Amino acid sequence: MRTSPITTPLLEAQNLMRRYWMRRGAFGKATEVRAVDGVSLSLERGKTLGLVGESGCGKSTTGRLVLGLETPDAGTVAFQGAPMPAPGTAPWRAQRARMQMVFQDPLGALDRRLTIGVQVREPLDIHGIGDAAAREKRVLHLLHATGLRPEQAERYPHELSGGQRQRAVLARALATDPALLVCDEPISALDVSIQAQVMNLLVKLQREFGTAILFISHDLRAVRQVSHRVAVMYLGRIVEEGEPDDVLHSPAHPYSQALVSAIPHPGRGGQRILLQGDPPNPADRPSGCAFHPRCPVAFARCSQESPALTARPDGRLVACHLAHEPAIARAA
Amino acid sequence: MTALVTLRDLAVSFDGTPALRGIDLAIARGEALGMVGESGCGKSVTWLAALGLLPGKARVTGSVTLDRAEILHAKPAVLDRLRGGRIAMIFQDPASSLNPVHRLGKQVCEALRLHRGLTGAAARAEAKRLFDLVGIPDAARRLDAFPHELSGGQNQRVMIAMALAGEPELLIADEPTTALDVTIQAQILDLLARLRREMNMALVLISHDLGVVADACDRVAVMYAGRIVEEAPIARIFAEPAHPYTHGLIGALPPIDGPRRPLAAIPGQVPDPRAMPKGCAFAPRCPRRIDACEVAIPESRVMAAEHRAACLRAEAFEAVHA
Amino acid sequence: MLRFFGFRLLRAAITIVMVVTFAFVVLRLSGDPALLIMSVDAPPEAVAAFRTAWGLDEPLWVQYFKYFSAIFEGDLGRSMRDGRPALTLVLERVPATLALTIPALLIKLCIGIPAGITAALHRNSLLDRLVMALAVAGFTIPSFVLGLLLVLLFAVQLGWLPSGGQESWRHAILPVITLGVGGAAVLARFTRSAMLEVLGQPYIRTASAKGVPWRAVVWGHALPNAAIPTVTIVGFMVGSLIAGAVVVESVFSWPGVGRLLVVAVANRDLAVVQCILLLVAATMVTSNLVVDLLYGALDPRLRSGLASAPKGAAA
Ligand SMILES: Nc1ncnc2c1ncn2[C@@H]1O[C@H](COP(=O)(O)OP(=O)(O)OP(=O)(O)O)[C@@H](O)[C@H]1O
Ligand SMILES: Nc1ncnc2c1ncn2[C@@H]1O[C@H](COP(=O)(O)OP(=O)(O)OP(=O)(O)O)[C@@H](O)[C@H]1O
Ligand code: SF4
Ligand SMILES: [Mg+2]
Ligand SMILES: [Mg+2]
C-alpha cells in the first residue's frame, strides 16, 4: 500500500453519508435516497484515486462532498489534516481555491460569452492572486501547460474543439494552483482520439504541479491509465479498492468482476459475465448486500447481512461475503 | 457470395458543405460490420442517407442497392416497405427515439402491422414475444408502459424489439450502447450477437469505440472525414493496421495491462468540412505524411484479402510493423 | 390526483379573489360614481342621498366586506343606472357575445391549425412564406383597424353586408371575421413552431425508419405531440370567449358583454363592471383548469408526475 503512516494524507474522508429526499410522482410521498452511504477514502499529494461505478451510484455526489460543495449528513472530510470549514464562510472560500472541480461537459462549464483567456484568468481575479501583469503571465503559462496556443486565449468556447475546451477548463481549474482536483467524467464526452490527449495531459500536469486528483469515470481502462488506486462504487458504497492493475486482473468483488469483463476487448467476445437486471434504484435499496439481486454468486447470507469493506491479507479492500473466503471466491 | 446491400460512391452534402465524400461498402448476408470513426465523420449520415431518412436539405448522390435493386431516391411507397422491413435501424438515444405519448406496445405493434400484417391480439402476442426475446422483464405489462417509465437500457431493448418486428435482413445499430452503463452495454452487445446468430441477420454496428466493434463484429470500416479510410477483418485491423488513423485509434485506447506510458494520442483535430485539405484529409495530423499526401486524395488500395486502405504509405507502414 | 386538483382549485379561487379585489379598489379610487350618474347640476343633497343609498359613504373596507359577503349569498349587486340586478343585466348579453366569439373560435381553429401544420410540413417553401406573411399581417393589424377596413370595403364600398347592429346573421359576418383573423394568425404561428419542434425530434425519424408512411407519421406521431403546447393557446382562446370581443363589439355596435362593459366603465356602474370581471375571471380560470386536465390526457409524462427524474436532479 502507498499510504505511509508518517504523513497525513491530503484528503481524508470518513464515513460520508448523503441523503436526498425525492418524490415519486408529483403527489407521492417523499422517499429517502441514500446517494452516498458510508464512503471513506483518502488521497495523498500528487496521487490519483480513480472512482468507477454505474450511473447513479453516487460518484458525483462523493466528489461534491469531498470538495465541500455539499455538506454530508454524517461523516467528516479533512483537508490537509484540518476539518472542512462550513460552506459559504470566508475560510471555506479560501479553501475552495485550493480544490477545483472539472466536469464532463466542457461547453457547459465555460461561459460562451467570454473568451478563453478571460475565463482562465477569472479565478486569479476572484481570489486576488498577483497583479495584472503577473496574472497575464500566469494565464500564458497555464495555456502553454495545457497545450493551448497563446492566440487561442482570444477565442470563444464554441470556436474550439471538444478536446481544446476541456484543456481550457483544466487550465482554469489549475489557475489557483490547487492541491486537489476532482475530475468528474472529464473525458466521457470526448472522441476516443481526444480522450487520449486529455488523459496524457492530466498525467503530465499532475507530475508538473503535484496535484492530487480524484478521477471519476465509468471507464476502467481510462481509470487504470491515470490512477494510482481505484475504488469501485456500487449503490452509494465502495465495494472494492486496490491498485488498478490488481483490481483489473483479479477483481475480487463480483460486481467488479462483471465490470472488468464488460471492458470491450478484441477477440474476447464470449466470456463476459452478464449481469441480470437493471442498475438498482437508490430509493429502493435491496436488503443485505445491495448487489445480491444481480449477483451471479449470491447465497442466502447476502440478502440478509450487509458485508463490510475489509482488507484481505494482500491489502485489497473488498465488501463481499465471499471475497474473504478464497476457496469459494475462486470457484465463483 | 453476392452482397445484400452495396453502397457505391455515396456522397451527401448539407447546404453545399460535404458530409460524405464517396462511400463504397458492401455487406453480405448474415455478416457483422463495424463502423468506427471520430464524431462527425459521417457514420450516421451514411445510413440515414442510404435509407432516405435525411432532411430535405441534404443532397444525396451515388447508389445504394439492396439485392441489386436501386433504393436510393426510390419512391416513398418502396422505401416504406423496406424500412423497418428488410432493413431496420436503431438509434443512439433510446429515450428520445421513442414517441413519448404512445404506449410501447402500440409502437411495436405499428411495425408488426406494417410489415407482417398482424393486428389486434395476434400483434400483441407477437409484441410480447419480442419483448421476452430482448429480455424485458414483465413484458406483458411493459407493453402498456410509456417510454419514460422504463430505464435507458430497457428503452434501448424496446428499440431493438421494434427493429426486429419486421424480421429484417439487415439491422443497422447506430451507437446502440453509448448512452448506457457498461454492464448494460455488455447485455445489449450480447443480445445483438445472439439475435444475429439466431436470425441470420446482417448487422452494421456504428460506434466510435473500436473496442465495442471488435467485440461484436467480423469486419470493420474505419471512417475519417466523410470517407472510408480502411476496411479489414477485425483480427487484422488490430494486428496490422495499414492506415495511420487506424493506428492512431488503436494507440489511443488505454491498454488493460502492461506498463503505463503516455498514450499515443493523435495530435490535432478533425478538419473543418468547409475547408478540407486538398489531399489526404488526415495529412495535417499524420505522423507519416510526405509531400505527395497533400497533392491528391489517396486511392483506396488492396492490402491483402479483404483488407483495403486509402493511404499512400500503407505498405511502408506495414513493413515497419511486420 | 385529488391533492393536485385541490391545489389547482385553490389557486383558481385565489386568482378570482385577486381579480375582484383589484377591480374593486381601482374602480372606487378612479372616480365618484355619484357625480357621474347624477346630472352635473344635481343638488348636493341628492348626490349625498345617492351615496347613502348605494353605501358609497361608508369606509372602503366596509364596502369591500359587504360586497364580498353579498357575493357568497349570490347577490352581485344592482346596476346603479337602472337598479336591475347586475347579474341579470350581464347574462342577458352573454348570448350575443357568444354568437360572435364561438364562430370566431371555430374560424381560428379551422384556419389557424391547418395553416400552421401545412406551413411546417412545407418549411421554407413558397407556401410556408405566404402563410407566415399572412400570419404576421393578421397578427399585427389591430382588430379595430381591421374591423374598420372590412366595414369600408364590404359595407360602404360594396354594400354587401351591414356595417353594424344585430338584426340578422348577416350582421355577424364582419365582426366574426374580424375576431377570427387575429386569432387564426396567432394559432398558425404557434402551431407551426410547435410542429417544427416536433418534426425535428428523433422519434419522428424512428417512425420513418420503421416504415410508417409520411402521412401516418404526421398524423399519428407528430400531431399528438405538437398538440401539447398548442392546447395552452387554444385554452386561452376558449377562456376569452366572453371578454375577447370588447373592441369588435364597439366597432360594430354589437350589443354584447363587451359593449356593456365599456358603457358600465364609462358610467362607473360599479356592480356591473365587477360582475363582468368576475365572470371573465371565472371563465379564464375554468379554461385553465380544463387545459391542465387536457395536458394530463395528452402527455403521459405529466400523468405519472414530473419529479421522478433522478437523472436530471443529479446533473
Ligand atoms: N440533488 C439531488 N436530489 C435528489 N437526488 C439526487 C441529487 N443528486 C443526486 N441524487 C441521486 O443520488 C444518486 C447518486 O447520484 P450521483 O450523481 O452522485 O451519481 P453518479 O455516480 O455521479 O452517476 P452518473 O454516472 O450518472 O453521473 C442518484 O440516484 C441521484 O438520483
Ligand atoms: N441535418 C444535418 N444538417 C447539417 N449537417 C448535418 C446534418 N446531419 C449531419 N450533419 C453533418 O454531417 C457530418 C456527419 O455527421 P454524422 O452524424 O454522420 O457523424 P457521426 O460520424 O455519426 O458522428 P457521431 O459519432 O457524433 O454520431 C457532421 O459534420 C454533421 O455536422
Ligand atoms: S496518405 Fe499520407 S497523410 Fe494520409 S494517412 Fe497516409 S501517410 Fe498520412
Ligand atoms: Mg455523475
Ligand atoms: Mg452518429
| Domain annotation covers residue C262 | yes
| Domain annotation covers residue B258 | yes
User: Quick check: C314 and A33 CB within 8 A?
Assistant: no
What residues contact B121, with CB distance under 8 A and at least 6 apart? none
Distance from CA of C14 to the nearest CA of B (A): 33
User: Quick check: B111 and C301 CB within 8 A?
Assistant: no
Chains contacting C with at least 3 CB pairs below 8 Å? A, B
Position C310 scores a pLDDT of 34
Which residues in chain C are closer than 8 Å to B104, comparing Cβ atoms?
none
In percent, how much of chain B has pLDDT > 70?
Answer: 98
- Distance of CA C257 to CAs C19, C33, C48, C248, C264, Å? 18, 20, 31, 11, 10
pLDDT digit string (tens) for C34-44? 766 666 677 77
Instruction: For the beta carbon of residue A292, count every other beta carbon within 10 angstroms.
Output: 21
- Work out the burial of residue B294: count CB atoms within 10 Å of its CB; fewer than 13 is exposed, 13-18 middle, 19 or more buried: middle
Rounded to an integer, the average pLDDT of B253-272 is: 84
Query: How remote is the CA of residue A53 from the centroid of ligand 4, in Å?
Result: 10
Give the ligand with the smallest distance to the CA of B41. 2
Distance from CA of A73 to the nearest CA of B (A): 28
B98 closest CA partner among B174, B180, B162, B187: B162
What single DSSP character describes residue B234?
H
Position A27 scores a pLDDT of 53
Q: Which atom of ligand 3 is nearest to the CA of B281?
A: 4
Rounded to an integer, the average pLDDT of A216-220 is: 90
Residue nearest to atom 3 of ligand 3 (CA): B283
Give the ligand with the smallest distance to the CA of A236. 1
Residue spans of the domains in chain A: they are 11-98+178-272, 109-177
Q: For the CA atoms of C223, C225, C229, C235, what is the dihedral angle to 10 degrees? A: 60
CATH of the domain at B26: 3.40.50.300
Which residues in chain B are closer than 8 Å to C228, comparing Cβ atoms?
101
> Structural domain of residue C254, as residue ranges?
86-304
C108 torsion bin: left (phi>0), alpha (psi -120 to 50), beta (else):
alpha
Chains contacting A with at least 3 CB pairs below 8 Å? B, C
Q: Which of C202, C208, C221 has its CB closest to that of B96?
A: C202
Query: How remote is the CA of residue B98 from the centroid of ligand 2, in Å?
Result: 21
Integer Cα distance of B216 and B42 in angstroms: 21
Integer Cα distance of C135 and C188 in angstroms: 7
Distance from CA of C292 to the nearest CA of A (A): 14
Integer Cα distance of B251 and B38 in angstroms: 14
Position A15 scores a pLDDT of 94
Instruction: For the beta carbon of residue C130, count every other beta carbon within 10 angstroms.
Output: 13
Q: Per-residue b/e over C183-200, b at no fewer than 16 CB within 10 Å?
A: bbbbbbbbbbbbbbebbe
Position C285 scores a pLDDT of 86
> Structural domain of residue B40, as residue ranges?
3-99+166-321
Position C272 scores a pLDDT of 84
- What cell was used for B8? 457505391
Instruction: For the beta carbon of residue B283, count every other beta carbon within 10 angstroms.
Output: 22
The pLDDT-based confidence of A255 (bands split at 50, 70, 90) is very high
The pLDDT-based confidence of B309 (bands split at 50, 70, 90) is very high
Position B262 scores a pLDDT of 87
- Distance of CA B246 to CAs A199, A306, B47, B103, C298, Å? 19, 47, 21, 43, 49
pLDDT digit string (tens) for C280-302? 888 888 888 888 888 888 888 87
Which residues in chain A are closer than 8 Å to B186, comparing Cβ atoms?
258, 261-262, 272, 274-275
Q: Which atom of ligand 2 is nearest to the CA of B42?
A: 18
Rounded to an integer, the average pLDDT of B121-133 is: 93
State the average pLDDT for chain B. Answer: 90
State yes or no: pLDDT of A290 exceeds 50. yes
Residue nearest to atom 24 of ligand 2 (CA): B39
Rounded to an integer, the average pLDDT of C206-232 is: 93
Query: How remote is the CA of residue B132 from the centroid of ligand 5, in Å?
Result: 28
Query: A37, A51, A61, A216: which to mutate for ligand 1, most atoms within 8 A of CB?
Result: A61
| Domain annotation covers residue B118 | no
Q: Per-residue b/e over C235-255, b at no fewer than 16 CB within 10 Å?
A: bbbbbbbbbbbbbbbbbbebe
Distance from CA of C139 to the nearest CA of B (A): 30
User: Quick check: B162 and C203 CB within 8 A?
Assistant: no
- What cell was used for A227? 490512477
| Total domains present in chain B | 1
State yes or no: pLDDT of A319 exceeds 90. yes
Rounded to an integer, the average pLDDT of B112-126 is: 94
Of B137-146, C154-163, C199-208, give the range with the top mean pLDDT.
Answer: C199-208
- What cell was used for C280? 371573465
Ligand 3 lined by B298 (C-beta under 6 Å): yes
State yes or no: pLDDT of A327 exceeds 60. no
- Distance of CA A147 to CAs A140, A166, C268, Å? 11, 11, 75
Q: Which amino acid is at A139?
A: V
Position C209 scores a pLDDT of 94
Higher pLDDT, A112 or B298: B298
Which residues in chain A are closer than 8 Å to B253, comparing Cβ atoms?
192, 196, 221
Query: B282, B303, B308: which to mutate for ligand 3, most atoms within 8 A of CB?
Result: B282
| Domain annotation covers residue C51 | no
User: Quick check: A161 and B153 CB within 8 A?
Assistant: no
Q: Specify the 3-state DSSP secondary structure of B240.
A: coil
Rounded to an integer, the average pLDDT of A130-135 is: 89
Ligand 3 lined by B282 (C-beta under 6 Å): yes
Position B210 scores a pLDDT of 85
What residues contact A181, with CB distance under 8 A and at least 6 apart? A99, A100, A101, A102, A173, A174, A211, A212, A213, A214
**Continuous segment of H or E residues that includes residue A76:** strand A74-79
Query: A60, A215, A232, A255: which to mutate for ligand 1, most atoms within 8 A of CB?
Result: A60
User: Quick check: C221 and B149 CB within 8 A?
Assistant: no
- Work out the burial of residue B212: count CB atoms within 10 Å of its CB; fewer than 13 is exposed, 13-18 middle, 19 or more buried: buried
Which residues in chain C are closer than 8 Å to B96, comparing Cβ atoms?
201-203
What residues contact A76, with CB distance under 8 A and at least 6 apart? A13, A14, A15, A16, A83, A84
CB B254 within 8 A of CB B248: no
**Continuous segment of H or E residues that includes residue A229:** strand A229-234
State yes or no: pLDDT of A132 exceeds 50. yes
3-state secondary structure B67-133: CCEECCCCCHHHHHHHECCCEEEECCCHHHHCCCCCCHHHHHHHHHHHHHCCCHHHHHHHHHHHHHH
| Domain annotation covers residue C252 | yes
* Radius of gyration for the alpha carbons in chain A, expressed in angstroms and rounded: 21
State yes or no: pLDDT of C212 exceeds 90. yes
> Any chain C CB within 8 A of the CB of A176?
no
> Any chain B CB within 8 A of the CB of C315?
no
Position C3 scores a pLDDT of 65
Q: Tally B–C CB contacts below 8 A.
A: 81
Q: Which amino acid is at C210?
A: K
Integer Cα distance of B52 and B71 in angstroms: 9
| Domain annotation covers residue B112 | no
State yes or no: pLDDT of B25 exceeds 80. yes
CB C77 within 8 A of CB C67: yes
Distance from CA of B238 to the nearest CA of A (A): 8
Position A1 scores a pLDDT of 44
pLDDT digit string (tens) for C69-126? 777 777 777 777 777 888 888 888 888 888 888 999 999 999 999 999 999 999 888 9
Phi, psi of B202 (to 5 degrees): -80, 150
A18 closest CA partner among A56, A57, A83, A62: A62
State yes or no: pLDDT of C141 exceeds 80. yes
Position C313 scores a pLDDT of 30
Q: Pick the residue from chain A with its C-alpha nearest to C1.
A: A27
State yes or no: pLDDT of B29 exceeds 80. yes
Q: Per-residue b/e over C60-79, b at no fewer than 16 CB within 10 Å?
A: eeebbeebeeebeeeebbbb
Integer Cα distance of A54 and A58 in angstroms: 9
Ligand 2 lined by B34 (C-beta under 6 Å): no
Q: Identify the CATH number of the domain defined by range A11-98+178-272.
A: 3.40.50.300
Integer Cα distance of B282 and B286 in angstroms: 6
Q: Which of A27, A56, A60 has its CB closest to that of C305?
A: A27
Distance from CA of A164 to the nearest CA of B (A): 9
Position A326 scores a pLDDT of 54
The ipTM of this complex is 0.87
Which of C4, C308, C311 to mutate to test binding with chain A, by most A CBs within 10 Å of its CB? C308
Residue nearest to atom 18 of ligand 1 (CA): A58
Give the least confident one: B74-88, B214-228, C141-155: C141-155
Strand A30-43, strand A11-23: pairing = antiparallel
Integer Cα distance of A11 and A181 in angstroms: 11
- What cell was used for C269? 356602474
Q: Which of B91, B101, B111 has its CB closest to that of C299?
A: B101
Please, what is the end-to-end C-alpha distance for chain C in angstroms? 28
Give the ligand with the smallest distance to the CA of B39. 2
State the average pLDDT for chain A. Answer: 86
pLDDT digit string (tens) for C237-283? 888 888 778 888 888 888 888 888 888 888 777 788 888 888 888 88
Position C221 scores a pLDDT of 94
Position B18 scores a pLDDT of 92
Integer Cα distance of A332 and A324 in angstroms: 12
Give the ligand with the smallest distance to the CA of B89. 5
Integer Cα distance of A194 and A163 in angstroms: 6
pLDDT digit string (tens) for A184-208? 988 887 788 788 888 998 999 899 8
The pLDDT-based confidence of B180 (bands split at 50, 70, 90) is confident
For cell 441514500, name the residue. Answer: A34
- What cell was used for C276? 363582468
Distance from CA of B231 to the nearest CA of A (A): 16
State yes or no: pLDDT of B28 exceeds 60. yes
pLDDT digit string (tens) for C301-311? 877 654 333 33
CB C9 within 8 A of CB C285: no
Q: Per-residue b/e over C155-180, b at no fewer than 16 CB within 10 Å?
A: beeeeebbbbebeeeebbbbbbbbbb
Ligand 2 lined by B16 (C-beta under 6 Å): no
pLDDT digit string (tens) for B195-248? 898 889 999 999 988 888 888 899 999 999 999 999 999 989 988 899 999 999
| Domain annotation covers residue B145 | no
Ligand 1 lined by A282 (C-beta under 6 Å): yes
| Domain annotation covers residue B129 | no
Residue nearest to atom 31 of ligand 1 (CA): C310
State yes or no: pLDDT of A299 exceeds 80. yes
| Total domains present in chain C | 1
B254 closest CA partner among C136, A298, A197: A197
